A = this chain, B = another copy of it.
Amino acid sequence: MTDFPPSDRNRVRRLPARAHYDADTIYPILDEALICHVGFVADGQPFVIPTIQARLGDTIILHGAKASRLLKHAAAGEPLCITCTIVDGLVLARSVFHHSMNYRSAVVFGRGRLAESAEEKWAALEAITEHVMPGRWADARLPNELEMNATSVVLVEIDEATAKVRSGPPGDDDEDYALPIWAGVLPSHLQFGAPLDDPKLGAGIEVPGYVGAFWRK
Contact = CB atoms under 8 A, between A and B. Distances in A.
Given A40-B46, A96-B137, A99-B129, A206 B191 contact: no
Interface of A: 9, 13-14, 34-35, 37-41, 44-50, 52, 64-65, 67-69, 79-83, 85, 87, 89-90, 92-97, 99, 101, 103, 105, 107, 109, 125, 129, 132-133, 136-137, 139-144, 147, 150-151, 169-170, 172, 176-202, 205-208, 211, 214-215
Q: Say whether chain A's binding surface is mostly helix, strand, loop, or mixed.
A: mixed
B169 A198 contact: yes
A195 B188 contact: no
A111 to B, nearest CB: 11
Contact of A46 (B81, B90, B172): B81
Identical copies in the complex: 2
Contact of A214 (B65, B69, B93, B186): B186
A94 B141 contact: yes
